[in-house]
């Protein structure tokens, strides 16, 4: 049986989930994606899961628009537990998760953020980096805590910001690194190489 039993939450295209599934299928990650949930009906991430025969479903998160709370949060936790998930992967999930999920999966909820945190938390961070005039941008995979994009950092990868970049071209360059960073962070977790010491994530050799 695979070491990590993953539940993936996403709202959009699912390219990060795809990179994780690809790593699993290439035997480059000792994990199994057990369930994919999306708060957006017909999101592409669900199609991708379907194509790989991964159980998937839409999770109605109404009436909240920006957070996972209340009955939807309970249902999410129930579905993840029922599927035997031990690790929750937020992959383009456009909602704030609340403490209940974090308590149900202690230090086992990960997120990917398209910026070099702590710079530019929140939405459209690649555009924020561009508008700010940064010369370097990037991606962060981190444990989720009660804040927004504020948990201990596991992996970061950087990209240059080019003179003629648009928000789209910069985001595309960052996404290439995202697809390396998420499987890498999960590989470290699967190998038991991660120790969290306050804010610092130590990676053993
Ligand atoms: C990525 O840029 C990720 O960093 C951010 O949302 C986007 C999701 O992309 N949190 P995808 O759905 O994985 O393609």
The 8-class DSSP code of residue 84 comes to T
Q: Is the pTM of this model over 0.85?
A: yes
pLDDT band (50, 70, 90) for residue 57: very high
Q: From ligand 1's centre to the CA of 3, what distance in Å?
A: 24
pLDDT tens column, 139-158: 999 999 999 999 999 999 99
Q: Which of 26, 13, 12 is nearest to 187 (CA)?
A: 26
- Is residue 113 part of the annotated active site? The answer reads yes
List C-alpha distances in Å: 93 to 23, 32, 40, 88, 202.
Answer: 20, 19, 10, 11, 26
Average pLDDT over residues 34-45: 97
Residue 175 is predicted with a pLDDT of 98
Atom 5 in ligand 1: residue holding the nearest Cα: 92
| pLDDT > 90? residue 35 | yes
Average pLDDT over residues 164-168: 97
d(CA 184, CA 90): 15
Average pLDDT, the chain: 97
Of 113, 142, 171, 179, the active-site residue reads 113
pLDDT tens column, 63-106: 999 999 999 999 999 999 999 999 999 999 999 999 999 999 99
| pLDDT > 90? residue 34 | yes
**Among 16, 23, 117, 173, which is best to mutate for testing ligand 1, by the most ligand atoms less than 8 A from CB?**
16
List C-alpha distances in Å: 63 to 9, 14, 94, 136.
Answer: 18, 24, 15, 38
pLDDT band (50, 70, 90) for residue 1: confident
């Amino acid at each position: 049986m695979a070491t990590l039993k993953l539940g993936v939450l996403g709202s959009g295209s699912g390219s990060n989930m795809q990179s994780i599934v690809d790593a699993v299928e290439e035997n480059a990650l000792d994990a199994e994606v057990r369930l994919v949930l999306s708060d957006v009906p017909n999101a592409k991430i669900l199609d991708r899961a379907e194509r790989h025969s991964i159980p998937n479903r839409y999770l109605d998160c109404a009436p909240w628009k920006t957070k996972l709370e209340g009955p939807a949060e309970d249902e999410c936790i129930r579905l993840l537990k029922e599927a035997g998930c031990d690790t929750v992967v937020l992959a383009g999930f456009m909602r704030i998760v609340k403490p209940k999920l974090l308590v149900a999966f202690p230090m086992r909820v990960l997120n990917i953020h398209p910026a070099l945190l702590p710079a530019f938390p929140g939405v459209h961070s690649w555009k924020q980096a561009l508008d700010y005039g940064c010369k370097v941008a990037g991606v962060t995979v981190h444990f989720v805590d009660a804040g927004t994009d504020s948990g201990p950092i596991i992996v970061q990868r950087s990209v240059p910001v080019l003179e003629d970049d648009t928000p789209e071209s910069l985001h595309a360059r960052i996404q290439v690194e995202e697809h390396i960073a998420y499987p890498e962070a999960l590989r470290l977790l699967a190998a038991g190489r991660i120790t969290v010491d306050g804010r610092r994530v130590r990676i053993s050799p």
